[in-house]
Every structure is written in structure tokens, then in C-alpha cells.
Chains A and B, each alone.
Chain A
């Protein structure tokens, strides 16, 4: 009796396995703290350059404040030759009685007030956490088959990418079957194996001691100020990724998505996967 029920009980096939879920939520906190403390650090010198040193006359991005004709203070952002009025957000922000000259506004920096050294402490602590968790996850993805099974695109998905992009643009999503779609896989792969490693490496390249350890890496990124610029740009692309990611979750059953990322959920098995095996059938 017990024997037969045991036999028909399906293998516990999770939509998201435990390491994936753990990493997802650890990353959420790491990325929030790293972004906000990173912007605190950026605010200490809200300008970006290319090359090894800072050409103070020619940053490609700069946030600052000027005094307007009527004595009012305006926040401005210069991107190359273009200057934008960004009062209240970039360059000059805060409540009316407590406004200050600063790159990013207080609601997105950690701490909210100007405190470079505290921002650095938060940043480096969470950078270790983030890098450690990332390294463990990369090993898991590689050796558990997660990378090959769930993330790598089979030939059919590579071929179907164009159609995938069109479908996404029409907000038509394939949420029916268990695996990720081609475009989704490609963005995950890009984040996992390009964006996150580049963040860690450009971050390290801003360290003068690390430059002594790996001068070739500094050269690869085009010098310390280039590394700082790339660090900033890729951080921005990660923010973009998170926005799109959240949008996709909202458009594809947010409650189920969040629940599954917490509990693991149940993996929908495609007919091809369940062929020759009765174990996947629901009891």
C-alpha cells in the first residue's frame, strides 16, 4: 500500500531550485545596498571621465549646481555637449528648507545625507557578500546543470530569437511552458556572465592596490577613470534590467511569480520532458 503510493508520487520538480531562490533574494538586497551606497560614493565627485586620470575640464558626465539670474539655485547635468536642467533630482535636490548641492538625491543614496566613508563601508561589505554569493552561484550553475538545462539556448531558441523579440514588443509572452524563453535566457546570461563580472572587475580596478596586482586588467578597461565610468554605466544597465524584470513579473502573474521564487513552485513539464517517464505526472 505505502509502497505503491511512494512509487506514483512524482519527483519533487521545482520551478526554481533552492540555490536559485536563495541567490535571487540575497542578490536583491545586495544590489539595493550596492546601488544606493554606490551613488553615495559617486556623489563625492559627481563627474565621470575616460582614460587613466581625470581631465577636470572635460568630463563626459557631470552634475553640478549654478546660480540662476534671480539668485535661485539650479541643478544641472551635463552629458557631453548637452546640458539639462535637473533641479530637484540631479545636481541640486532636497526639500525646500533643506536643499543641497549633490549629484543624486538623498532618497536614493545610502546614507541619505552626504557621508562618503559610510557609503564606502556599506559598499565594500555588500560587495564581498555579493561577490561571494555570485561565485557560489556560478559554481552551482556550472556543475548542477542549471546553466546547460535552464539558461543555455538550444539551437531552436537561437533561431527563434527574432520572433521572440517581436513577440516581446507586442507584449505577447509565452508563460505557458516551464522553461525560460530565448530572449529571457539571453538577458539572464548577459547579466550573469557579462554585467555582474564586469561590475566586480571594474570595481576592483578602481583600487590602487589591486592595480598593482593586475595592471593588465586596468589596461583592459582603459584606465582607472574608464573603469569608474564603465562601473557606473553597467550599474545603470542593471537598474534597467531590474525595471524590465519587474515589468515582466507584473505582466505574467506577479503573485504566482513571487510565490514561486519564495517557495520554489512547481515546474510545468513539457510533453517532451515527460516522455518515457511517469514520474512527472501529478498525483
Chain B
């Protein structure tokens, strides 16, 4: 009888503990779906941006590494082989017919071929790429500094953001896109890379041209670029959050 009681009590306690734990978890999951909670948690993100910009300054440089530290294969992520017919055609022609259009709030819209971009003064940098998932890879990138291109096009005073339009459809439908504010876009290490580890940029890594914003996480660095537009805000572009992953809940500022 006594033993039976003890077993029953133990079972009850186990169930109670499990119940409390499940309730707690369910509560946290529910909070994670509550808009107000998400909005509150998101406040930290604005703090991150301000604090980090203050600490790193507008011009603070991301660490650069010696050639001995370059990873032999640079892990690609997201789209690695875009299937859009326009992209397949351009790739088949070694991107000879591809052009980068720079427009929006600029004095003089530009349309540049790969050869023209390659003829520009370029920056070479060996930097670390940090994926939001947690891993890192080191590669050598080469390409014109974005600030030079913006200078050439002439940014209108009302422009605040630079939007990068891509040729890949990551989920199968929506085209990838990203955005930076002018401060990060004009950072000396922000380049448009056409070369990885001294070879033409492979398709898996974003051929023919990709963004490198070295003080940000990987998802900010749009691949398969086709156009760059200067805008005052990105409310009317796709989901309105300033990027493919941002439209899916990721933070716009990806400095941490």
C-alpha cells in the first residue's frame, strides 16, 4: 500500500514537472510568435547598430588575413546554381552579355559590362566571411570599391539606401535582394567582387559579381548582382524589410 502510494506520488510529481516544463516551453514559443514581443526584442537590434557603429566608427576596418589562411574551397550557401532562364543564358555566354545597371536616385545612371568593371581600379582583400549560422570561411576577393561607383553615378542627396538586385530566386519564386545604408555602402572594404582566390568568381559563389560588405554577416552580401538602385526607403520593394531574409524575419542590421 505504502509502496503504491510512493509510486503514485512519484508519477504525479513526474507528470507535474513535465506539465510545468511543457507549459513553460509552450509559453516561450507563443511569445516568439507574438508581434509585440518580437517588436520589443527587436529594440536590441537598433541598440546593436548604434553601439557597434559607435565602437567601430564609420571607417573601422574588418580584419584582413595573410594568403596562407585562405580556405581552399570557399563554402557556398543559399543559391549555388541559379536556374532562372535569363541567368542560365548569361552564364552560357560567360557573362559577356551581362551588365550591371546602377540607377534610382543618381545623377547619371550607369550600365557597365564585366570587362568595364574589371578595367576599373580594384581592391584585393583577404577577409573572413561569417555566416549567420555560425561558421566562417576565409577568401581573397577582388573588385571595384562600391564608393567609387557611387561617386561616378553621383548619389542624389535624398538617397539613403543602396539596394542590390539579384538574378537568383532562392525560394524558387522571389528574387534575392539586399540593402545597405550609405555609410556601410561607402565603407572602404565594401566592394563588388568579380574574383575569388585569384580566379573568376565561381557560379556557386555568385558569378559574375557579388557584394562584399565585410563588417556584416553573409546574408547581406548579395550574389548574382544585376542592378543597384539608390532609394530613400525600401518599403515598396518586395516584402519591404530591405532584403530577402529580412522579409523572412532576419534583422536588417547584421553586424552581429
- Interface set of A (CB-CB < 8 Å, partner B): 36, 41-42, 44-45, 47, 49, 52-54, 56, 106-107, 110-113, 115-118, 120-122, 124-125, 127-128, 204, 206-215, 218, 224-225, 228
Contact = CB atoms under 8 A, between A and B. Distances in A.
A207 B52 contact: yes
Given A53-B69, A106-B25, A113-B29, A211 B63 contact: yes
A208 B45 contact: no
Contacts of B111: none
Contacts of B250: 117
B131 A208 contact: no
Given A121-B38, A209-B215, A209-B255, A111 B29 contact: yes
A45 B135 contact: yes
B52 A210 contact: yes
A34 to B, nearest CB: 12
B63 A112 contact: no
B181 interface: no
B183 to A, nearest CB: 12
A124 B48 contact: yes
Contacts, number: 127
Nearest to A207: B256
Contacts of B186: none
Contact of A111 (B28, B71, B134, B256): B28
29 contacts: A36-B28, A47-B135, A49-B135, A53-B71, A53-B136, A54-B136, A107-B25, A111-B28, A115-B32, A117-B249, A120-B251, A121-B44, A121-B45, A124-B41, A124-B44, A124-B256, A128-B44, A206-B130, A207-B52, A207-B255, A207-B256, A208-B214, A208-B256, A209-B215, A209-B256, A210-B255, A212-B60, A212-B61, A215-B63
Interface in B133-170: 133-138
Nearest to A228: B134
Q: Which 8 A-B pairs have the closest CB atoms?
A: A209-B255, A207-B256, A213-B55, A213-B56, A212-B60, A125-B44, A45-B134, A54-B135
Interface of B: 21, 25, 28-29, 32, 38, 40-45, 47-48, 52-53, 55-57, 60-63, 65, 69, 71, 75, 128, 130-138, 214-217, 245, 248-251, 255-256
B67 to A, nearest CB: 14
Contacts of B71: 53
B60 A45 contact: no
Nearest to B43: A125
A124 B130 CA distance: 17
A213 to B, nearest CB: 4
B136 to A, nearest CB: 5
B28 A45 contact: no
A218 B215 CA distance: 14
Nearest to A44: B133
Nearest to B60: A212
A212 B62 contact: yes
Which interface residue of A116, A118, A121 has the most chain B CB atoms within 10 A?
A: A121
Nearest to A55: B71
Contacts of B47: 128
A53 B128 contact: yes
Nearest to B28: A110
Contacts of A124: 41, 44-45, 48, 256
A97 B177 CA distance: 37
A176 B36 CA distance: 48
Given A56-B75, A107-B25, A118-B32, A45 B136 contact: no
B182 to A, nearest CB: 16
B134 A42 contact: yes
Nearest to B187: A212
A53 B137 contact: yes
A117 B44 CA distance: 13
A54 B134 CA distance: 9
Contacts of A122: 32, 41
Contacts of A210: 52, 55-56, 255-256
Which interface residue of A49, A116, A117, A127 has the most chain B CB atoms within 10 A?
A: A117
Contacts of A112: 25, 28-29
Nearest to A41: B134
Contacts of B55: 209-210, 213-214
B32 A110 contact: yes
B186 to A, nearest CB: 15
A41 B248 CA distance: 17
B119 to A, nearest CB: 30
